[in-house]
Every structure is written in C-alpha cells, then in structure tokens.
C-alpha cells in the first residue's frame, strides 16, 4: 500500500515537472513569434511567478519519491551482473538525481548552471527518462 501511494505521488510530481518543461519548450518559447519582446517578457513572467511556487517543489518530491521507489524495485544483483531493468533504472536514477541536484542548487541556493542554462537540456533528459521507462521492462537477452 505504501509503495502504491508513493508511486502515485511520484507520477503526479513527474507530470508537474515534466509538463512544465514540455509547455515551456514547445509553447511558451514560441510566444516570441507572435508577441513583442515586452509582451513576451510580461507574459512569461506572469506564468513563471506561478510556476516557481509549484514546479521546484514537485521536482523535489519526484526525486525523493524516486529514491524510495528505486530502493524498492532495484532487486539483487545476480552473479551475471546487472539486468537490463537494473541498467535502465540506474540510468534513470542518475538523470533524475542530476535534475534534482541542478534544480535544488538553482532554486534554493541561487546557483545557476554553468552550461545548459535554458530548459532544453532538462527537457531532453526528461524525454530520455520517459523512453527508458518504456524499455526497461524488455528483456534484450532474447534478441
């Protein structure tokens, strides 16, 4: 029951964080094409003042709940080494922790990233995590 509850919370937190990245990169960034620079700045700030209240907290919840879920499903390492599932899960965990570390430093400590200052790189990582989520249950040893 606890696993299901935390998994559900994790999914909602990831939807909030990933949903913002999708919206920002696919729609909000395109507002420049139809608005003046001043209008775009005002519109983006009107959105971002609400985003800053929710999205960073959702990222923290996603990372913490993801760490718990990782401990519950990773399993034992066989003598043959990591399974495909464990490899994909480890990559997902690394990318998620990197996003969380970047987000905590940026939002709570004011430390800006040295590279990849836009939301494009986190967006790409979220897409990679989504694809890994779909492939991690496949058994590639039978191919």
If one compares 137 and 50, the residue with the highest pLDDT of the two is 50
Distances (CA, A) of 60 to 22, 28, 84, 139: 18, 23, 27, 31
Q: What is the mean pLDDT of residues 29-50?
A: 90
Number of structural domains in the chain: 1
- Give me the domain span that covers residue 39: 2-142
Q: What is the mean pLDDT of residues 2-22?
A: 95
Per-residue pLDDT for 142 more than 70? no
pLDDT at 102: 86
What is the average pLDDT score of the chain? Answer: 89
pLDDT at 54: 93
| Total-model pTM | 0.85
């Amino acid at each position: 029951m606890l696993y299901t509850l935390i998994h559900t919370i994790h999914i909602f937190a990831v939807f909030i964080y990933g949903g913002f990245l999708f919206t920002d990169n696919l729609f909000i960034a395109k507002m420049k094409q139809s608005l003046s620079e001043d209008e775009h700045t005002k519109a983006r700030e009107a959105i971002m003042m609400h985003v800053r209240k929710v999205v960073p907290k959702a990222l923290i919840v996603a990372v913490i709940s993801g760490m718990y879920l990782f401990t519950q499903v990773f399993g034992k390492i066989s003598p043959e080494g990591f399974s495909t599932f464990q490899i994909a899960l480890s990559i997902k965990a690394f990318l998620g922790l990197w996003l969380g570390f970047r987000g905590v430093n940026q939002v709570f400590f004011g430390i800006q990233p040295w590279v990849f200052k836009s939301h494009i790189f986190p967006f790409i990582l979220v897409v990679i995590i989504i694809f890994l989520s779909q492939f991690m249950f496949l058994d590639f040893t039978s191919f």
